[in-house]
Amino acid sequence: MVTAARQPAPAQDAARAFPEDFLWGSATASYQIEGAATEDGRTASIWDTYARTPGRVRNGDTGDVATDHYHRWREDVALMADLGLGAYRFSLAWPRIQPTGRGPAAQRGLDFYRRLVDELLDKGIQPVATLYHWDLPQEVEDAGGWPERGTAERFAEYAALAADALGDRVSTWTTLNEPWCSAFLGYGSGVHAPGRTDPVAALRAAHHLNLGHGLAVTALRERVRADARVSVTLNIHQVRALTGSEGDADAVRRIDALANRVFTGPMLRGAYPHDLLQDTAKLTDWSFVRDGDLRRCHQPLDFLGVNYYAPTVVSAADGTGTHTSDGHGQSAHSPWPGADQVAFHQPPGETTAMGWAVDPSGLYDLLRGLSAEFPRTPLVITENGVACDDYVDPAGQVNDPARIAYVRGHLAAVHRAIADGADVRGYFLWSLLDNFEWAHGYGKRFGTVYVDYPTGARIPKASARWYSEVVRSGVLPAN
C-alpha cells in the first residue's frame, strides 16, 4: 500500500472499546515452535535443510527442538486458556502431514493436529489453521519448488488432505502466510529457505504461490464446513516516499507493485498489474502464466489477513540507501527484481531489537488504504508484534514495557482505523511464544511468553498479562 505522508497518531488519553465480536488471539508457526523434526514420519522441510547449512542461520541454530511444542502442546493450550485468548492461529507442517509432498496423508502427523484442535475447542479457543508458513517438503523443492507449476498442484492436494481431516472442526483457514517472503526472500535474495538467488525464479514462484492459493481455496471450499471462513495472509508493505520528488513517487509505485500488487492483483482482482509486467519485462515475459490461471487465482475470500510490523521507506537510487536497508536481511542479491533503481531507507525514530521502526501510523494508513481499495473484503490483523531484549530478572519475572507500549500504540491505531471506517474484525499478537526466528535463530524474542530454551520452561511476560486484560475486557486502557 502507498501513503503520501506519515499521519500523526492522536494522543492516547482515553480508554478505547473494541467491537463486541472483535476476535482476539495470538499466533505461531509450525517450524518455529514444534520441534520433533524427525518424529512420527515427518521428513525434512526446506527450513530444516537451510538451517543445517553452515552460515545460513545465526549460531548454527535449527528448529530441530524449537520450543518443543509437539510434546508440550497441552501445556501451551493451557497457557492460552489462562490468558483468555479467543483464537489461536497456528500453521500445519506440510512435511508432517504429507512427508514427500505427494500421496496419502501420514495419520500420525494429522493426529497431532487433531489432538491440538480438540484441546483448543475444549478450552473455548477458536482454531485458525494456516496451511503454509514456509516449511515446504524438501522433496518438493528438489523437484523445483515454488518456481515450478507442479508445486501449486501438490499444494492443492495437501490442502485437500488437511481439509478432509480437520474440516469438520476448524472453521477458519488461511492458505498462505506471507507469500512475498516465500518467493522473494526464498528465491530472490536467498536470506530465507531454500536460499536461491534467481530473480526470474522469484517471479515464477510468486505466480505459482498465487496459483497454489487459488487451487487450495477451491479444495477447501469443497471439503470444509459450510460456515467456514477461508483467507490468505499477506505482509502488505506500507510504502512511503523519502521525499516528494517524482523519482521517489515512481520508486513507491515500483515497490508497491513488487511487494503488494503482485499478490493482491491476481488474488483479489484476477489480473497482474500492467506496470509490474513492464517493470520486469527485461527479466521475463511471464509466459509461465497460462490461460485460465488468473481465474483460478481469483477466488472469493471471507477476509484478508494482514501482517504489519513497520513501514517501508524508498527513494529513487541516490547513492545512499540500498536494498539491504529494507529490513529483510543482508544479502548481495536483491529481493526486488526489476527495481535496481530503487533505494531503501531506515525510517527515523525508535527501533525494535530487529532494527525495525516503531510506527503505528503505518498500520493505520495500511488498514484505511486496504479498506478503501477492497471495500467488500473484511480485514484481520494476523500478525503484529515486536522483538525485545527480554530477560528473566532475579525475582523470576520478565518485564517488557517496550512490548506493552508497542502493542498499545498499534492497537490504538487499529481502533482509530475502525472508527474511521475500516472493516477490521480481529487482531492476532505475534507471537505466543519465544521461538526459532528464522535466520536469526534463537537470538530474537517476539513472544509474550518467555521460553527458557535449555529447559523449555514457559514464563508469561508482563505483556502477556497486560494483553490478557485487553482480551478479557475488549477495551484498550488509557495510558
Give the active site residues.
178, 383
Compute the distance between CA of residue 117 and CA of residue 77 in angstroms, rounded to an integer. 10
Contact 382, 425 (CB under 8 A): no
Where residue 159 falls (left for φ over 0; alpha for ψ -120 to 50; beta otherwise) is alpha
User: CA-CA distances (angstroms) from residue 181 to 158, 285, 397?
Assistant: 21, 22, 35
Q: b vs e for 70-109, b when ≥16 Cβ sit within 10 Å of the residue's Cβ?
A: bebbeebbebbbebbbbbbbbbbbbbbbbbebeeebbeeb
CB count in 10 Å sphere of residue 57: 23
Helix (H) / strand (E) element for 458: namely strand 457-460
Give residues with Cβ within 8 angstroms of 109, minimum separation 6.
40, 41, 42, 93, 96, 97, 99
Compute the distance between CA of residue 195 and CA of residue 50 in angstroms, rounded to an integer. 7
What are the beta bridge partners of residue 475?
17
Residue 251 grid coordinates: 520508486
Contact 437, 446 (CB under 8 A): yes
Contact 301, 269 (CB under 8 A): no
* C-alpha dihedral, 279 to 334 to 328 to 61, nearest 10°: 140
CB-based burial label for 319 (10 Å; 0-12, 13-18, 19+): exposed
Q: In whole angstroms, how large is the CA radius of gyration of the chain?
A: 21
Q: Omega before 182 cis (within 30°)?
A: no
CB-based burial label for 354 (10 Å; 0-12, 13-18, 19+): middle
Compute the distance between CA of residue 23 and CA of residue 473 in angstroms, rounded to an integer. 12
What are the beta bridge partners of residue 316?
342
- Three-state secondary-structure class, residue 474: coil
Q: Which of 67, 62, 40, 66 is nearest to 49 (CA)?
A: 62
Compute the distance between CA of residue 169 and CA of residue 392 in angstroms, rounded to an integer. 38
